[in-house]
Structure 1
Amino acid sequence: MHTTHTMIAVSGILLLGMACQWLAWRVKLPAIIFLLACGMLVGPIGHWLHPDELFGELLFPFVSLAVAVILFEGSITLRFNRIPGVGGVIRNLVTIGVAVTWVVTTVATHWLLDYPWDLSALFGAIMVVTGPTVIAPMLRAVRPRESVAAILHWEGILVDPIGAVLALLVYKFIEVHGVENGFIATAIVMLKVVAIGLGIGVAAGWLFGTVLRKYWIPKYLHNVVTLALVCGVFTASNALQAESGLLTVTVMGIFLANMRLVELEDILEFKESLTLLLVSTLFIVLAARMNLSGFLALGWQALGVFLAVQFIARPVSVQLSILGSKLSMGERHLLAWIAPRGIVAAAISALFALKLEQNTGNDLASSLVPLSFCIILGTILLQSFTAGPIARWLGVAEPEPKGFLIVGATPFGLALAGELQKNGVFVQIADQDWSAVRAAVMRGLQAYWGSPVSEDADINLNLTGIGYLLAITPQSERNALVAHYYRTDFEPDKIFTIRNVQTNNVKSLEKTRFKYAGHYLFPDTVSLENLEELLRQGAKITTTPLTPEFSYEQFQTQADMKRLPFFAIDPNGYTHALGVKPEPTPKAGWKIMAVTAG
């Protein structure tokens, strides 16, 4: 392919991937739907993109490295202290659950598609993996209880290398079938994969964690060194034993995530962005490789396999895995419903289909890819559209995030919290001052005592149902730190603070130093000190309902220095900041909160 054409193709893939991600964000649908549609449009339908010709022999090494980076990014979020008492369920799902899913899928594939047992077993092994890159956005949309979310998140990461290893063992068995001592050879492969994966993974995780903890690498190199190390460790592991690399990088990530005093925030942020790019690219490239005739050749039997995976394999595996657990019936049913397949299943199916074709000449091997994409699309479409309503119907969805986290139990913060609660808004107070926390508790407020930017807060500060952050401690620096720390937990337009000073010099300094400080409430001339002085003089925080007879315009004409409006609550219970763009337009049925002089 001509160099110019190659550059156009690669750039086009990246642009299309980001366009699909943006479209998915706009219409609130899983990005994979648009990515697969786009890949098929530019590939088998439009014949504009030919991945095998474009990448040549680099295609599958690139796919393998990309999957390794994706799994590593997921694994460094797996911290043992965040498992809310469901470790046994997670263990069972990645052992008993994997076995059940493998057997059911294998039998269904053999009976419905008339595949030989060995090829059916390989497809069953591929389908045990769930999609961490699909589960994460689904969990954000569904907002299930913490226990369910933790189980699905951990399962999605841990089961992928297990599925890859299982697929490798089945493939190895197919390869040595009929050869003397074939079973022993397969067992040796399994032992080598586990030993190499655990050994190199733990060693690499400990070594890199020590390097980070002792600051032997400058911070600006953390991201690129991490990427290089993941690729190097993955490649070295695979060189020692094929397909052991995924287990290695997963173990390495989990070990790093659970090391003490190792800062991973910047690395995680970089890896999240890189993963988004890689997932988008992989789905388009792999979808573009498909043959439409392969889809059509599967017929209705492919639908039968999907139904077996969704309605037999998953429910049975979950029910056996949660025996003896304290999960409610609603939580059990939701777990039995959610198990989308994603990019790892697509990549593994493409890889082993190619190996089978090249090494065994199996004519049916090429059908593994379209069959895998049928299951991927089916599980994602069905579960994405139904998981939310099912979770709400079962009563296991968390409430809408309309509540406030107020950091700083100042007199103004306590007064505001009390008024918000009167309007049905949940409020969580956080402060390091025990006397201030006690004052909040005495007012009937839920309060956290400790630093909100600490590991203890990550574990014990409950953000369930909270969608807004208000940082109003007496220190501007601390407010900025809090806003920066929680910038990934809250939408940017839902992080607020109040000025602590009024001099132009300090305000200018704040603007240059605290770019994550959030949106300022109140005009420039109003500071937290002003507001608390008003409270000492008898001012109160009041709520005024708007009616057809009393509009927001009429309220504004009455507002003066004795009334400082700052929040508007709409009929659905969502809070909007007045004076912050995009400015809301309160109507009848809304309520206006203001500081009203006594």
Structure 2
Amino acid sequence: MNDPLVLLVMVGLLSIACQFFAYKVKLPAILPLLIVGILIGPVFGALNADDLFGELLFPIVSLSVAIILFEGALTLKKDDIAGHGKMVRNLCSVGVVVTWLIAAFAAHYLLSVSWSIAFLFGAIVTVTGPTVIVPMLRSVRPNHKVANILRWEGIVIDPVGALLAVLVFEFIVSAQGALSHTFYAFGITLLTGLGFGAAAGIGLGISLKNNWIPQYLVNTAVLTVILGVFAASNVIAHESGLLTVTVAGIILANMKGVNIEGILEFKETLSVLLISGLFILLATRLDLNAIAQLGWAAAFVILAIMYIARPISVFISSWGTSLTLKELALISWIAPRGIVAAAVSALFALKLEEQGFPQSEIIVPMVFLVIITTVVVQSLTAKLVAKLLGVRAPIPNGFLLFGGNRFSQLLAKELQEQGIYTCIADTNWNAISDCRMQDIPVYFGNPMSEHASLHLELNRFGNVLILSPYRQLNPLVSFHFEDALGKGKVWGLSNNEQLSRPSHKVSSHYANKLTLFGEGITYAYLASAVAKGATVKTTRLTDAFRFEDYQETYGERAIPLVYIDTHNVFHVVLANNDFEPAAGWRLISLITPKDSGLP
């Protein structure tokens, strides 16, 4: 099969299949992507990236890595790392040097390679990368401090490690390893990366803030500008482009008054496509015979990187920080290598082979062995390690109730009684005061604010219920949290506006969310029911008291709110769902008095 069109489509289809499989089994997608790449490449010979793209392969890889790093940098908010900047700074400086030296010494003495090749290999494997860190963090769910440190390190360390690899490469290829040439290359690379990155980030931020770019062109303009400065930076200083795009992304993410949500969503989608394709394509270039020839020495090098270099670099970097021993242990355990290591190793190995450097052919197989081993071992064990260390965040099955009215208070108290973490958010101080008097966790303010993202412990919530009377604010809160938690996690009360004149109706997309607790259950109805003495209570079904008995006992006086099944899974009652509660289920309901007069 030599048709390029068919091969490209095949890579795309396999990429999506691997991503979906990884999502289902909760593993970083890099693992199935690498396996598929190896199978269709060196095993069955169906595809070879060099034959497919020729000389265009590495320009495509470089541009793709630039987009991936820029997208990752857009997620780096300085407030997320408040109090832990020292740890990240040390990991990306002192930690890099420690890892580099230990990996280089291990490669030299265990693999019997020259010092030049050993130090280049050590520089390449200093990087971790957001492509594998972020999916792993979703699965492991470490506490807020550890998650932010690992995420920042994974993004910032990529250009740092790539820059170190560039310097080592320049030292190797320069005449007699001239230090003056190396220091000159370092200075030019650093100045170019910082200068171009700052100019691009500030320039794009000002343009977006002042609406100089039409809305429909924003994503395209940002993408092309970033690729443009990446290429220009690389022309001036080899491989400085990675530093450029990282600096640009961090500056743009932290400029006040600049809305990057649309850009970030576009870049995330693009990054998933690029990451998937790149891993498969690069894996097709692997030489299995070269890997087999490395022998057991390669295993000992990997063990030295994972269990000597990483813990030492983490503990040295933590000097003077407030991190606990257990948090440091988990950070030491999680350091998978990703796309930047794969791309940089392939690029430099090819250049060294072209110049006739001996032993350069071992760089790519060794780096891919490090990638595969770290991803497999840490993906399968990190969750258990985090659990044993007691540094996992709670399961995100809590409820955030927007609106601190009396009904919300009754529901929150009952959810708490059932062991469900529940918090009420409201901008009304009197409502918040009432909640505090009942020991209900609260957030006073706008739950969509940047302050809320730092103080509301959003990682604890799996459901958001909109129970407030603020008709202008409710839709905004609904869409904000749907974007954060995903579809099917945010619901609101009906406002009966769909029955009014067409000009007063809400959008159908928003109306689909207004089905909480059943058809026609409005804020006014709940407020009236509570005012007339309605209570929220939990009823446990048994073989002797079935759901039919429950309905017969309470009739229309009971409005089911939340069902809790025998697996302790919570089901919010909606107008369009149909549950069949069985023995062992718990039903949280609003029970109205017999003489309330409510329909």
TM-score, length basis structure 2: 0.96
Q: Is the 8 A contact 1:522 1:564 kept in 2?
A: yes
Q: Does 1:336 align with 2:337?
A: no
Aligned to 1:92: 90
Q: Is the 8 A contact 2:200 2:226 kept in 1?
A: no
Relative to structure 1, the CA distance from residue 573 to residue 509 in structure 2 (aligned partners, 3 Å threshold; closer, same or farther) is farther
Q: Is the 8 A contact 1:480 1:517 kept in 2?
A: no
* Correspondences of 1:395-474 after superposition (within 5 Å): 395-474=390-469
**Structure 2 unaligned residues grouped into runs of 5+:** 594-599
Letter of the 2:170 counterpart = K
Letter of the 1:246 counterpart = L
Letter of the 1:79 counterpart = K
Q: Percent identity?
A: 44
Paired with 1:58 and 1:336, the residues of 2 have a C-alpha distance of 38
Paired with 1:584 and 1:374, the residues of 2 have a C-alpha distance of 49
Relative to structure 1, the CA distance from residue 316 to residue 270 in structure 2 (aligned partners, 3 Å threshold; closer, same or farther) is same
Equivalent residue of 1:78, what SS?
A: coil
Paired with 2:19 and 2:259, the residues of 1 have a C-alpha distance of 29
Aligned to 1:63: 61
State the Cα distance separating 1:196 from its structure 2 match.
0.5
State the Cα distance separating 1:509 from its structure 2 match.
6.1
Paired with 2:129 and 2:53, the residues of 1 have a C-alpha distance of 25
State the Cα distance separating 1:594 from its structure 2 match.
1.1
Q: Does 1:291 align with 2:287?
A: yes
When structure 1 is superposed on structure 2, of 463-472 and 295-304 the one drifting more is 463-472
Relative to structure 1, the CA distance from residue 496 to residue 507 in structure 2 (aligned partners, 3 Å threshold; closer, same or farther) is farther
Q: Does 1:348 align with 2:334?
A: no
Relative to structure 1, the CA distance from residue 464 to residue 503 in structure 2 (aligned partners, 3 Å threshold; closer, same or farther) is closer
Equivalent residue of 1:561, what SS?
A: helix
Cα offsets for 1:49-77 (capped at 9, x unmatched): 12111111111000000000000001011
Q: Is the 8 A contact 2:143 2:391 kept in 1?
A: yes
2:364 counterpart (342, 351, 369): 369
Q: Is the 8 A contact 1:94 1:158 kept in 2?
A: yes
1:227 counterpart (223, 226, 247): 223
State the Cα distance separating 1:195 from its structure 2 match.
0.4
Q: Is the 8 A contact 1:340 1:376 kept in 2?
A: yes
Aligned to 1:574: 569
Relative to structure 1, the CA distance from residue 511 to residue 18 in structure 2 (aligned partners, 3 Å threshold; closer, same or farther) is farther
Paired with 2:206 and 2:511, the residues of 1 have a C-alpha distance of 30
When structure 1 is superposed on structure 2, of 457-466 and 313-322 the one drifting more is 457-466
Equivalent residue of 1:469, what SS?
A: strand
Equivalent residue of 1:254, what SS?
A: helix
Paired with 2:520 and 2:514, the residues of 1 have a C-alpha distance of 15
Aligned to 1:176: 174
Q: Is the 8 A contact 1:541 1:593 kept in 2?
A: yes
2:592 counterpart (583, 591, 597): 597
When structure 1 is superposed on structure 2, of 377-386 and 410-419 the one drifting more is 410-419
Paired with 1:355 and 1:80, the residues of 2 have a C-alpha distance of 38
Aligned to 1:586: 581
Paired with 2:307 and 2:268, the residues of 1 have a C-alpha distance of 32
State the Cα distance separating 1:557 from its structure 2 match.
4.6
State the Cα distance separating 1:363 from its structure 2 match.
4.0
Aligned to 2:597: none
State the Cα distance separating 1:139 from its structure 2 match.
0.8
Letter of the 1:211 counterpart = S
Aligned to 1:238: 234
Coordinate RMSD, CA, aligned: 1.8
Equivalent residue of 1:520, what SS?
A: coil
Q: Is the 8 A contact 1:428 1:448 kept in 2?
A: yes
State the Cα distance separating 1:373 from its structure 2 match.
0.9
Q: Does 1:498 align with 2:498?
A: no
Letter of the 1:252 counterpart = A
Aligned to 2:321: 325
Aligned to 1:549: 544
Paired with 1:409 and 1:513, the residues of 2 have a C-alpha distance of 27
Aligned to 1:144: 142
* Correspondences of 1:51-130 after superposition (within 5 Å): 51-130=49-128
Relative to structure 1, the CA distance from residue 30 to residue 502 in structure 2 (aligned partners, 3 Å threshold; closer, same or farther) is same
State the Cα distance separating 1:409 from its structure 2 match.
1.1
State the Cα distance separating 1:517 from its structure 2 match.
6.5
Cα offsets for 1:325-346 (capped at 9, x unmatched): 1111110111111101011111
Relative to structure 1, the CA distance from residue 501 to residue 77 in structure 2 (aligned partners, 3 Å threshold; closer, same or farther) is same
Cα offsets for 1:387-416 (capped at 9, x unmatched): 111111111111111211111112222221
Cα offsets for 1:413-469 (capped at 9, x unmatched): 222111111111111111111111112112211111111122222222222422111
1:191 counterpart (178, 187, 194): 187
When structure 1 is superposed on structure 2, of 391-400 and 585-594 the one drifting more is 585-594
